[in-house]
Each structure stands twice: as structure tokens, then as C-alpha cells.
Structure 1
């Protein structure tokens, strides 16, 4: 009979083990690409990620017969931070081998921790927040692995649901295949006389990163404030990732759309780093770092992802908002001339956000992945 142990993450050794759990237990599975351990350290280390100032959080590791078998986190937002229409209590980073007892013990441990804090409803997974990596993959297991997008094996949703978890919301990611038609497309919106002077699109100024970040955070929080589960993105949180993103973002990977001189929308596009890191098995030392540096200089990327996008809320239900969104899509097509991408991913979009979904589908986007946020009454 197997011995299953659930232990808290309470020191450096257990923290390092927690970060590498997915690459250890999912190694070799179709559709999985391991993240770099160093990148996961910056995501989960409390001194490095300002998100952890907003929550009380605990993480655990599961071992079966002494070997890594899974992990989970639980967190509660502090007073003053309440996700829109969702619980303050959340679980996240649930990964496990195909063993129902492992999943049962992990979730029971997280639930018990939340109950001692008076919580009665839990949502998740949020890893570590809705502004990070959200949901459990329920469709698209064999799709192209994408940087900063969580992957889970097909057995895991069923094991979680056996513990009493039910769907709260689905979020959709779209795949858009880039072809000659896109690279040759004319910018029809910007060519119209009535918009030529009013609409301006500029590349983000990375030399003035803090000033640009303030605008991005302001637009992002305004744009998504009415969405289920919304928690404001703090400037400190954004700045903690912006300094690293600027080193991997293509020269034209970020842009701002201005209407009548005021910033109204933005987009940030990143190459799919899994293309150059997947075979490193998460490790940079001793040989991974030189390979990574060489590849970052020479690799021709085939795919990428829009990691951030926002359009101010007061435009979203107006005709002029549709114009701004179409200008955004046209600008993506125009900028595709300068990159090698064969396809792009857009996500995560709430299943009921038809204002975003319809333009993407009308432009040729196809559902590629679906991630599910679960809930359970405690």
C-alpha cells in the first residue's frame, strides 16, 4: 500500500521542490512543456512577487512513497481586497499524478486551512492570481504549449470533480493562424479620413517603462473591472514583471492606441519562449544558460501570445469602441509583417464575454484551449 504524505512548503528546499513538481510528474506527456525553474521562482517567491502582500497564503507538496506526486496552494485575500462576484478564498497551482487519493488529500489539506480562517466557498485554480495564470485546462491538451499558460493532463479535471468541485467559469484561448493575407492586409480603419487624425497607434516606450506601466495598469483595471473574479492589478505587481518582459518582447511587441490624444487601449505580445526552453527540462545550470542565451539571439519564433490587452470600459459598448478594437486587430496584422510567427494565441477570455469573443471569431480566431475555474462550498 502506497504511503502519501502532504507537507507544507516551509523552507528553501521545499520551495524549490514545489516549483519543479509539474516538470517532474508531467515529463514526456504530449502537450506539456516545462517552465524554467528560475522563472517559477520569481512567480512563487513571496519576496519577489508583490501579489503575496495582498493575501495570506500557504503551499503544500504531496509525496507518494517518498517521490514527488503533486502540489497545491491556498490563499485568502486580506481585508479590502474582494474579487468581483467571487470568493476571497482560492486554491491554485494544483498539479498531481493520476492518483485520486493524492488529489483528495491535497484538496482536503487546502480546504481545512481555508476553513480555519472562516471561509465557506473556494474558487480556483488561480496561480497565483487571476492576473497570473488562471484555470485548469479542460480542452486543448495536445495544442501547442504556450509560454505563461498553464497545462494540465486530461485526467486531472475528473479527479478534481470527484472531490466535489464544480464549474464556476470557463475562459477561452483562441489560435489565429497568420498567413499572407494578414501580412499584406491594408489598415482600412486608420486610412479613413474620419479616423486618420483622431486615432493614433504608437509603440510602447520601454525607456520610460514606469510611465508606460502606469497607463497600462490604469487601462487594464478599468477595462476588466466588471469581469467575474476581477482583482485590481497593482502597479507594483506589474512592475515586478515588466522589467523582465522588456528583454523578451519584440521591438514592436507592445503598443498603445490613442483616441483624441488620450490612451484608450493597449496590447502586449510575447514570443512563445517554450520553443527555446522546452528541451532544457526547466534547468539553466550548468549547460542550459549558454544554450538559452544563444537561442534568444538566433531563434526564429513560430508562435506567440498576446499576454495583456485592455480597452477602456466606457468604449466597450459603444460603436467607437468597436472601431478601436478593429484598429487593434489591424495593427496586429500590420506588425505581423515584421515577425516570423505562424500563429498567435489570444486568451484568457471569459466564456460570456461576447464583446471580445465575436470580433476574434469574425477575424478568423479558432478555439484552441479552454481553462476552467472551479468552485466548492466548504
Structure 2
């Protein structure tokens, strides 16, 4: 694999009081000519001494490997949970994000960390009808380009196009912060992890006239409350609660909509959103959560402007020279 990692536990008075992991993504560093060590999976009690020990452990390891900068929280890939919550502590986190107390931010800034990038999360009221602009855009796209929106009734049918879809994902998000292409091994990991929870009404493939995947969309019923009730555990009742949440829900999580760069701006998003809104109306959805989106990604911020989004959370990746 292209990553190297290390894990540390903080123990005080014979009790575990913190944890952290360090990552060096060698391929990313080589590709972007950087010497970055990442920290991730950080948790600690409200004790600056504990936080200092955890961070210093990763810094020491990184420096021993020749690294000159530390950033985080950020994981192995762009599909990992990333960013530290700095605004919106009163809200329930999404299934794909992490909640942390306000003192996490205070500790890092006390240790000299500064903002590298922020992600914004928004809540969008679900439309009661498909907006005419979306319907018109989808119709024009189908007529002009011959694109086809495809949904499958069996999960095994998704697998025949999933690698092609991930290839679109890699190319669509290539220029985003911290991104490095997802390998087949990583794809297999996430497919195995998520396939049982995917709801087929909210999975879309868009094909061009040559039957090539050019767009891929995934939304999910919110699993956050079910996950919280089980304290993040699948057993003994966690899996049952998650499966029940897939049937009864009022909130939809936007995981991602990836469009091949050569086909962006052609209306693929409208095709996916047209059907997505219809499905949400059918299930009685009241709102959607966008998930973390880069603050400076004007393109993605703009695409939701007609849906009256409200920013309610902010996550941050910090950096520090070492």
C-alpha cells in the first residue's frame, strides 16, 4: 500500500484518556512534492497535557520520517471522515462525519495550529415538487446529448458498473484538497462496508450514448440517529436500527454526485436531482443534508443556491510546520 501509519494511546492514572493515529501518504507527497504527516482518529479528554502528548507523538514520528508539516484531522483517502467540528456543536452529526466537543479546537489552536481549509455543511428543505428549472434542464440534457439515467433493482447489478463509477469519482474530485485517487483495494473496502446499507432508490448511474458511465450519484436516508442510539455499535441492536432507519426516514444525506470532467455543465446533475427529488417526495422527506463541502469550492456551493440552503456546520483541517 502507499500509506504508512502509526497509532498512539494516551494513558493517565491507568486509564485510557486519548488516542491518535498518524499517516504518511507517500504517493500523495510524491505527487504534490510535499512532506506532510497527517493526524486522524483523534480523541481526548479536556486536558491540554494529553492533547500535547498525542500531537507530539505524531510530530515526532513524522519528523523521524523526514516530514516538515502536519495537517489534520484527515484520513487515508478523501472518503475517510475528515475535519474537526468548529461550528454547529448542537447538531447531530451525519453517519459519515464525526462530532467532537468545542475544546478540541481550543486545544489545537493553543498548540499553534492554524486553519488550512474549512468544509461547510448545509441543510436544504426538500421541495414539494420538482422545480421547473431542474425538469427543463434534465429534458434538454437527454434530448441534446442522449444521456440515460439508470437505476437498478438488485444490489448485485450495481457491481457491474461500480469500478467505472469510481473512476468517474476519481476524475471528478481530483483537484480537491487532500484528494488522491481511490485504488481498487480501497474501492473494495468501501463497497463491502456500504453495500448492505445502500438504498437503491437513491443510487444513480448516468451513461452517455456509448454506454459509458459519466455520472454517479449516491444519497442515503439519514442513519445518524440510529447510529447514536446504538453508540456506534452494530451489535446487539445497532444493525437492526440502521436497517429500520433505511425504511422510515425524513432526512436524506447527500453523499456525493460525481460527474466526469468532460461532461460537467451539461446537465447530468439535473438528471440525477430530478429523480432524486421525486424519490424524496415519495418517501415524505422533509430535508437534505449536504455533508462537508469545501468552503472555497464555489462550483458546488453554487449548485445548491436555488434550493435555499442554510449553513449549519463548519469543519476544519488544521496545519502546522514541524
Cα contact 1:61–1:70 (8 A) shared by 2: yes
TM-score, length basis structure 1 = 0.76
Please state whether the residue corresponding to 2:129 is helix, strand or coil: helix
Point out where structure 1 has 5 or more consecutive residues left out of the alignment: 1-52
Deviations 1:300-338 (A, max 9, x none): 12223122321112334xxxx152223333232122133
Residues 271-309 of structure 1 deviation map (CA, whole Å, 9 limit, x = unaligned): 222222322223444x425xx426624751222312232
- Partner of 1:127, secondary structure, is coil
Match of 2:209 in 1: 260
Aligned residues: 319
Number of the residue aligned with 1:242: 191
Match of 1:349 in 2: 293
The match for 1:226 is 175
Question: Does the aligned pair in 2 maintain the 1:136–1:372 contact within 8 Å?
Answer: yes
User: Partner of 2:93: helix, strand, or coil?
Assistant: coil
- Deviation at 1:352? 1.3
In structure 2, the residue matched to 1:336 is: 280
- 1:162 match: 110
Could you tell me whether the CA contact under 8 Å between 1:199 and 1:257 is conserved in 2?
yes
> Residue 293 in 1 paired to residue 237 in 2?
no
Moved more, 70-79 or 326-335: 326-335
Q: Secondary structure at the match of 1:172?
A: strand
Alignment of 1:304-319 (within 5 A): 304-316=252-264
SS of aligned partner of 1:113: helix
CA deviation map 1:136-182 (0-9, x unaligned): 11112112321011111112111111111111111122211214235
Root mean square deviation of aligned Cα: 2.6
**How far has the Cα of 1:225 moved from its partner?**
1.1
Partner of 1:29: none
Does 1:109 find its partner at 2:53? no
Structure 2 length-normalised TM: 0.89
Residue among 212, 221, 226 paired with 1:271? 221
Question: Structure 2: how far apart are the matches of 1:198 and 1:157?
Answer: 49
1:102 is displaced (CA, Å) by 1.1
Residue 144 in structure 1 maps to residue 88 in structure 2 = no
Aligned to 2:71: 123
Q: Could you tell me which residue of structure 2 aligns to residue 132 of structure 1? A: 80
Matched, 1:280 2:230: yes
Between 121-130 and 223-232, report the one with greater CA deviation: 121-130
Query: Gaps (5+ residues) in structure 2?
Result: none
Equivalent residue of 2:201, what SS?
A: coil
Measured after TM superposition, the shift of residue 222 of structure 1 is 0.6
1:211 aligns to 2:160 (yes or no): yes
Instruction: Say if 1:185 and 1:334, in contact at 8 Å, map to a contact too.
Output: no
The alignment status of 1:368 with 2:312, answered yes or no, reads yes
Does the 8 A contact of 1:86 with 1:228 survive in 2? no
